[in-house]
Amino acid sequence: MKVLKFGGTSVGSPENMRAVMDLVTDGEKKIVVLSAMSGTTNALVEISSYLHKKNKDTALIFIGKLEQNYKQVVDELFTSDENKKKGLQVVQEAFDTIKSFTSGAFNLVGENTILAQGEIISTNLVTLLMNENGYNTKLLPALDFMKIDEDKAADLVFIRQNIASVMETVGDADYYITQGFICRDAENEINNLQRGGSDYTASLIGAAIDADEIQIWTDIDGFHNNDPRYVENTKKIDQLSFNEAAELAFFGAKILHPQTVLPARVQNIPVRLKNTMNPTDSGTLITLESDGMGIKAVAAKDGITAIKIRSGRMLNAYGFLSKVFKIFEDFRTPIDMISTSEVAVSLTIDDTRNLDSIKEELANFGTVIIDQDMTIVCIVGDIIQEEQGFAPKVFKALDGIPIRMISYGGSKHNISVLVPTDCKKQTLQSLSDNLLNG
């Protein structure tokens, strides 16, 4: 069985929902993962932020607008009065849930429950639409099988066991629809897989049912060699290895949620990226092997903080780095990049929740310098296969860019540089002009 995921734009209007229905109803049994309609999760985040600020009146205005939009969607989506009524019930239920948080205290569980409503509405509406059009379609409630543990890591054993029993409970169908993004956490509360998490839902389900293929359908014809939001003349890549795609996704390529590739890689399930607006295009295929063509692509991850610890005590001493890393471990803060000299170590983090405490602890070892608003630009490919002189080519392409850190040699797929976020666009464009399209 295949797992197909359709993103926000792909289900962003009644017309697009119908296009998704036409795409998936080819007679092959499958699981279809849907995001919320585009713009919905952002709107729900905004509503939640007003509720956090106790600005109930503004929250209610935004809730009212969003509800009105959905009523319009229902009216356009269904033909029969009976289904229009059922569609309105779906919308009503979701908005009753949202409105229930406009009185009393508001907390993270409330926020996560509100954020879940986008996927709950889209999946219920598309299931109804497909049944109205004569397709035997059943909804698999993601909250009954999708789970993260206390470290917020996906619990694949739980997911595997529970998706099987949920499928059995709902009964046989030609097509199954489920919500992307949403899950339950270790406390059994509603939670999510972070923004963009529907891709990850699809790959977790793919791994759980040992799918033949995981397809991520979106609004672009596949993985491009640079970020099309910042750079002109990007080109689609036909094939990537799991490792290359994982590095690009981890380092900011928005087309894939950072963790999407991992479950697929473990079970060697091909991942195909496809364009809902141009379904005949072959897209990008992600498999075990790289086709070995040197530098493939670049990606950029914003919101990075660089920390430099300068200390005379580092000179010729052992155990210094392990003490430094222990502090990050104690504060459960992952490190992305590292570089060292005899008297200093620089590293980067993106989770700054414990930055003040980390800084305080590090100060026991030496002078601490913090630079915020940095971006990691990551150059990915089968770099070992590249002819000699790869590094000079990269440095030439980065001529004039104020590089703060470089990481090379950690894997054969990746060279990363840290630049101020102000210089990100220039860096990406220069890499496109001199390295990718040159």
Residues that bind ligand ASP (CB under 6 A): 7-8, 35-36, 41, 118, 180-181, 195-198
Q: Is 35 in the site for ligand ADP (CB under 6 A)?
A: yes
C-alpha 32/C-alpha 4 separation (Å) is 5
CB of 342 to ligand ADP, least distance (A): 38
CB of 85 to ligand ADP, least distance (A): 29
What are the backbone angles phi and psi of residue 399, rounded to the nearest 5°? -55, 130
Q: Is 124 in the site for ligand ADP (CB under 6 A)?
A: no
Q: Is 8 in the site for ligand ADP (CB under 6 A)?
A: yes
What are the backbone angles phi and psi of residue 10, rounded to the nearest 5°? -60, -25
For ligand ADP, the closer of residues 19 and 338 by Cβ is 19
Q: Is 379 in the site for ligand ADP (CB under 6 A)?
A: no
Q: Is 223 in the site for ligand ADP (CB under 6 A)?
A: yes
Choosing among ligand ADP, ligand ASP, Mg ion, none, which partner's interface includes residue 86 (Cβ < 5 to 8 Å by kind)?
none
For ligand ADP, the closer of residues 265 and 301 by Cβ is 301
For ligand ADP, the closer of residues 224 and 301 by Cβ is 224
Give the single-character DSSP code of 214: E
Interacting residue with ligand ADP among 37, 240, 245, 253 (CB under 6 A): 253
Choosing among Mg ion, ligand ASP, ligand ADP, none, which partner's interface includes residue 229 (Cβ < 5 to 8 Å by kind)?
ligand ADP
Q: Is 436 in the site for ligand ADP (CB under 6 A)?
A: no
CB of 139 to ligand ASP, least distance (A): 17
Nearest CA among 28, 29, 5, 26 for reference residue 274: 5
Which residue's entry shows tokens 């489920």? 178
Pairing of strands 405-411, 414-420: antiparallel
298, 387 Cβ separation under 8 angstroms: no
Q: Is 215 in the site for ligand ADP (CB under 6 A)?
A: no
Choosing among Mg ion, ligand ADP, ligand ASP, none, which partner's interface includes residue 181 (Cβ < 5 to 8 Å by kind)?
ligand ASP
User: CA 147, 150, 151, 157 torsion: positive or negative?
Assistant: negative
Q: Is 87 in the site for ligand ADP (CB under 6 A)?
A: no
Nearest CA among 196, 326, 277 for reference residue 16: 277
Tokens of 140: 């698999």
Choosing among Mg ion, ligand ASP, ligand ADP, none, which partner's interface includes residue 36 (Cβ < 5 to 8 Å by kind)?
ligand ASP
Nearest CA among 234, 318, 249 for reference residue 286: 249
Q: Is 7 in the site for ligand ADP (CB under 6 A)?
A: yes
Nearest CA among 352, 292, 239, 273 for reference residue 7: 273
For ligand ADP, the closer of residues 62 and 230 by Cβ is 230
Q: Is 219 in the site for ligand ADP (CB under 6 A)?
A: yes
CB of 334 to ligand ADP, least distance (A): 22
Q: If binding means CB under 6 A, how many residues of this protein chain bind ligand ADP?
A: 17
234, 223 Cβ separation under 8 angstroms: no
C-alpha 143/C-alpha 43 separation (Å) is 22
User: CA 286, 291, 296, 301 torsion: positive or negative?
Assistant: positive
Nearest CA among 192, 193, 298 for reference residue 252: 298
Choosing among Mg ion, ligand ASP, ligand ADP, none, which partner's interface includes residue 155 (Cβ < 5 to 8 Å by kind)?
none
Choosing among Mg ion, ligand ADP, ligand ASP, none, which partner's interface includes residue 197 (Cβ < 5 to 8 Å by kind)?
ligand ASP
Q: Is 224 in the site for ligand ADP (CB under 6 A)?
A: yes
SS3 291: coil
CB of 201 to Mg ion, least distance (A): 11
Tell me the CA end-to-end span of the chain in Å, nearest whole number: 41
For ligand ADP, the closer of residues 41 and 311 by Cβ is 41
Tokens of 370: 């913090």
Q: x/- site string to ligand ADP, residues 10 to 29, per CB under 6 A? A: x-------------------
Q: Could you tell me which stretch among 4-12, 15-23, 367-375, 420-428 binds ligand ADP (CB under 6 A)?
A: 4-12
301 DSSP β-pair partners: 376
Interacting residue with Mg ion among 196, 206, 258, 381 (CB under 5 A): 196
C-alpha 206/C-alpha 269 separation (Å) is 8
Q: For the chain, how are helix, strand and coil distributed in percent, rounded to 5?
A: 45, 25, 35
Give the single-character DSSP code of 224: B
Tokens of 84: 């229009």
For ligand ASP, the closer of residues 113 and 198 by Cβ is 198
Choosing among Mg ion, ligand ASP, ligand ADP, none, which partner's interface includes residue 118 (Cβ < 5 to 8 Å by kind)?
ligand ASP
Pairing of strands 213-218, 2-6: parallel
Tokens of 258: 């950072």
Residues of the shown chain interacting with Mg ion in the complex, contacts defined by CB under 5 A: 7, 196
Interface ranges with ligand ADP (CB under 6 A): 7-10, 35, 196, 218-220, 223-224, 227-229, 253-255
